[in-house]
């Protein structure tokens, strides 16, 4: 077994290897503390103590200072705060950059950059980066990652986990000089002293490992390179289908030809008449789809809706004539539909819904002074937003509208006002229409109206 000798090759401590520290062994914890005190008093700064168990007073003896980690984390957190605010400002409030323009979205006239709205993101980014700074800062301050410590190669040092105590003087200390330091250690009561040399043997990564690493690096580059390569390509065949069953499922539209459960040569349809689906039982109505009643669901008299060719954006083009000034309208109902009883509770409900859905723009009194409208108008004045002022519901043109028309405005919107059909149930829309009518009956166009109103009783002394 001539080869076995190879593995027992002694650690190289030839003239090439540099002395990095002197390791002194002590027999009891007290001797270690005293020696550390002496070393600190002698002006050494770069030294450390090792013991099998925590030794009382050793921190002070070595002169360990408080960690600088908190300052490191604070600096990173402040940086993250600035970064997060900048990021949000850049993304939300700028679109001038030619390379990565931001998204300058105006939403309900809200400001593009507002500190309160940016706090959550800023907070999260600060927490995340502080956590990373703490974790990796601790590594950096501790000199990690370190795969091997040369101290571990000194046989005597192994007893540091058992029954001996060690003081290690680093050669990089300004006060260090090999002979004098060794003398001092002896004076301070060391029972054995060993030199710790730089490890010259395993400095290099084995060639095989290095090659594997380079290969892995190239392998990691492959996916992004592939994605980049195929991203601009066009294909005749469909792309990769991971779950073909879901991408190509058998699916039949109603009233189309049904599946063939026979063979191509001897076809046999699933249903005798060849259709994909049975006809519904006569008189069947789909759930929630019974909206036949035009008066209740659409606010106009049954059968008065303009036909497709009369309305819609292409009507005029199709007929080869100029577009009409005002598109044809159905005949709006001017009394509430049968299904609705207008009483105090109903109007109250309408008021409550109005205050949820309409006040933001039209204001509590309906004169169009809602907060959203005010803000949007002021932005529009400086050219920062496009906005059509909300109409006053006391406008004679609105006041004269039949209730069916108000219902239609709420349902489908009007010009720049959006539709509320999907948010507000039918009955509530009628309730709001009733409340709008009630508001209009008050005839108050502005608070000034009240002051000028000579016809009604004025409080005494006014
Ligand atoms: C986001 C703001 C906004 C909200 C919320 C809003 N409106 Fe409007 N509304 C407008 C604007 C703007 C106009 C004027 C549209 C135009 O003339 O171009 C308008 C017009 C109207 C008109 C007049 C339509 C016409 O025939 O000229 C009525 C009636 C009306 N709104 C009722 C309502 C009711 C009821 C609600 C609550 C369900 C409501 N609005 C919610 C902005 C709003």
How far from each other are the two terminal CA atoms of the chain, in whole angstroms?
A: 120
Give a yes or no: residue 213 inside a domain.
no
CA of 43 to the centre of ligand 1 (A): 83
Residues forming a β-bridge with 21? 170, 196
pLDDT band of 462, cuts 50, 70, 90: very low
Give a yes or no: residue 5 inside a domain.
no
The backbone region for 206, taken as left when phi is positive above 0, alpha when psi lies in -120 to 50, beta otherwise, is beta
Note whether 300 and 173 are same-domain residues.
no
Note whether 329 and 439 are same-domain residues.
yes
Query: pLDDT above 90 covers what percent of the chain?
Result: 49
- Nearest-atom index, ligand 1, CA of 360: 5
CA atoms 186, 189, 191, 195: torsion sign: negative
Q: Pick the more confident residue, 323 or 19.
A: 19
Summarize pLDDT for 356-406 with one digit per residue, the tens: 999 999 999 898 888 889 988 888 888 877 888 898 999 999 999 999 999
Which two structure tokens, joined as six digits, stand for 111? Answer: 């400001």
Residues forming a β-bridge with 25? 166, 192
Give a yes or no: residue 223 inside a domain.
no
Domain count, the chain: 3
CA of 112 to the centre of ligand 1 (A): 25
DSSP 453: -
Interval 77-93 mean pLDDT: 94
Note whether 355 and 302 are same-domain residues.
yes
pLDDT band of 461, cuts 50, 70, 90: very low
Query: pLDDT above 70 covers what percent of the chain?
Result: 87
Q: Is the pLDDT of residue 9 over 60?
A: no
Would you state the pLDDT for residue 452? 65
Q: Is the pLDDT of residue 203 over 80?
A: no
Give a yes or no: residue 179 inside a domain.
yes
Note whether 52 and 196 are same-domain residues.
yes
Cis? peptide before 146, omega within 30° of 0: no
- Nearest-atom index, ligand 1, CA of 429: 38
Note whether 421 and 295 are same-domain residues.
yes
Give a yes or no: residue 244 inside a domain.
no
Q: Which residues lie closer than 8 Å to 366 by C-beta, 6 or more apart?
A: 392, 393, 394, 436, 439, 440
Q: Is the pLDDT of residue 210 over 80?
A: yes
Q: Pick the more confident residue, 290 or 168.
A: 168
Give burial (CB, 10 Å; 0-12/13-18/19+) of 205.
Answer: exposed
CA of 354 to the centre of ligand 1 (A): 11
Among residues 268, 284, 300, which one ends one of the domains? 284
Q: Is the pLDDT of residue 6 over 50?
A: no
Which two structure tokens, joined as six digits, stand for 247? Answer: 């991408």
CA of 392 to the centre of ligand 1 (A): 8
Q: Please name the residue whose Cα sits nearest to atom 20 of ligand 1.
A: 391
pLDDT band of 319, cuts 50, 70, 90: low
Give a yes or no: residue 27 inside a domain.
yes
Give a yes or no: residue 340 inside a domain.
yes
CATH of the domain at 424: 1.10.760.10
Q: Which residues lie closer than 8 Å to 132 by C-beta, 6 or more apart?
A: 76
Note whether 280 and 170 are same-domain residues.
no
- Nearest-atom index, ligand 1, CA of 359: 5
Note whether 280 and 159 are same-domain residues.
no
Would you state the pLDDT for residue 187? 93
Among residues 233, 263, 284, which one ends one of the domains? 284
The backbone region for 143, taken as left when phi is positive above 0, alpha when psi lies in -120 to 50, beta otherwise, is left
For ligand 1, pick from 362, 385, 425, 431 the residue to mutate: most ligand atoms within 8 Å of CB: 362
Would you state the pLDDT for residue 315? 46
CA of 65 to the centre of ligand 1 (A): 69
CA of 369 to the centre of ligand 1 (A): 12
CA of 295 to the centre of ligand 1 (A): 21
Q: Please name the residue whose Cα sits nearest to atom 35 of ligand 1.
A: 410
For ligand 1, pick from 327, 385, 391 the residue to mutate: most ligand atoms within 8 Å of CB: 391
Would you state the pLDDT for residue 34? 94
Note whether 313 and 276 are same-domain residues.
no
Distances (CA, A) of 16 to 181, 194, 197, 273: 21, 18, 10, 97
Residues 408, 300: contact at Cβ < 8 Å? yes
Ligand 1-lining residues (CB < 6 angstroms): 357-358, 360-362, 372, 388, 390-391, 393, 398, 406, 409-410, 414-417, 420, 432, 436
CA distance 298 to 350: 18
Note whether 278 and 372 are same-domain residues.
no
- Nearest-atom index, ligand 1, CA of 432: 35
Which two structure tokens, joined as six digits, stand for 461? Answer: 């002394």
Note whether 296 and 385 are same-domain residues.
yes
- Nearest-atom index, ligand 1, CA of 401: 26
Q: Pick the more confident residue, 306 or 112.
A: 112
DSSP-assigned states of every residue in 388-430 = PPPPPTTSHHHHTS-HHHHHHHHHH-BTTBPP-TTTS-HHHHH
Note whether 334 and 193 are same-domain residues.
no
Would you state the pLDDT for residue 260? 85
Q: Is the pLDDT of residue 274 over 90?
A: no
What is the extent of the structural domain holding 190? Answer: 16-202
Give a yes or no: residue 137 inside a domain.
yes
CA distance 285 to 288: 8
Q: Pick the more confident residue, 289 or 204.
A: 204
Rg (CA), the chain: 43
Distances (CA, A) of 59 to 55, 70, 108, 113, 126: 9, 20, 62, 51, 33
Would you state the pLDDT for residue 453? 59
**pTM of the predicted model as reported, rounded to 2 decimal places:** 0.47
Would you state the pLDDT for residue 454? 56
Q: Please name the residue whose Cα sits nearest to atom 41 of ligand 1.
A: 358
Interval 286-290 mean pLDDT: 71
Note whether 399 and 330 are same-domain residues.
yes
CA of 33 to the centre of ligand 1 (A): 84
Q: Is the pLDDT of residue 166 over 60?
A: yes
């Amino acid at each position: 077994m001539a080869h076995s000798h190879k593995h027992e090759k002694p650690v190289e401590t030839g003239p090439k290897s540099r002395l990095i520290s002197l390791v002194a062994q002590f027999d009891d914890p007290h001797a270690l503390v005293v020696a550390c005190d002496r070393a600190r008093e002698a002006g050494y700064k770069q030294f450390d103590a090792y013991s099998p168990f925590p030794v009382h007073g050793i921190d002070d003896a070595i002169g360990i200072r408080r960690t600088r980690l908190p300052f490191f984390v604070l600096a990173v957190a402040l940086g993250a705060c600035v970064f997060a605010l900048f990021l949000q400002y850049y993304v939300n409030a700028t679109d001038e950059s030619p390379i990565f323009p931001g998204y300058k979205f105006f939403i309900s006239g809200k400001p593009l950059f507002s500190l309160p709205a940016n706090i959550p993101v800023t907070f999260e980014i600060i927490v995340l980066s502080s956590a990373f700074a703490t974790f990796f800062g601790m590594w950096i301050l501790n000199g990690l990652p370190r795969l091997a410590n040369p101290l571990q190669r000194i046989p005597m040092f192994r007893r540091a986990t058992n029954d001996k105590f060690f003081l290690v003087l680093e050669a990089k200390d300004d006060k260090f000089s090999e002979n004098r330091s060794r003398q001092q250690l002896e004076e301070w009561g060391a029972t054995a002293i060993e030199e710790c040399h730089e490890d010259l043997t395993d400095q290099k990564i084995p060639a095989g490992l290095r090659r594997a690493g380079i290969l892995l690096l190239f392998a990691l580059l492959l996916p992004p390179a592939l994605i980049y390569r195929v991203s601009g390509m066009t294909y005749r065949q469909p792309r990769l289908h991971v779950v073909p069953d879901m991408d190509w499922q058998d699916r039949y539209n109603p009233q189309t030809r049904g599946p063939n459960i026979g063979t191509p040569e001897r076809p046999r349809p699933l249903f005798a008449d060849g259709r994909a689906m049975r006809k519904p039982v006569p008189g069947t109505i789909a759930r929630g789809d019974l909206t036949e009643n035009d008066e209740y669901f659409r606010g106009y008299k049954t059968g008065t809706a303009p036909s497709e060719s009369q309305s819609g954006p292409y009507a005029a083009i199709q007929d080869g004539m100029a577009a009409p000034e005002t598109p044809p309208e159905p005949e709006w109902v001017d009394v509430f539909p049968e299904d609705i009883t207008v009483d105090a509770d109903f109007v109250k409900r309408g008021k409550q819904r109005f205050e949820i859905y309409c006040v933001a723009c039209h204001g509590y009194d309906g004169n169009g002074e809602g907060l959203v409208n005010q803000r949007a108008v002021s932005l529009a004045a400086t050219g920062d937003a496009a906005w059509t002022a909300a109409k006053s519901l006391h406008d004679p043109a609105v006041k004269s509208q039949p209730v069916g028309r108000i219902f239609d405005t709420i349902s489908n919107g009007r010009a720049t006002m959006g539709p509320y059909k999907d948010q507000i149930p039918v009955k509530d829309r009628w309730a709001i229409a009733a409340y709008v009518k009630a508001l209009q009956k008050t005839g108050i166009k502005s608070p000034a109206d009240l002051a000028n109103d000579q016809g009604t009783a004025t409080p005494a002394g006014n």
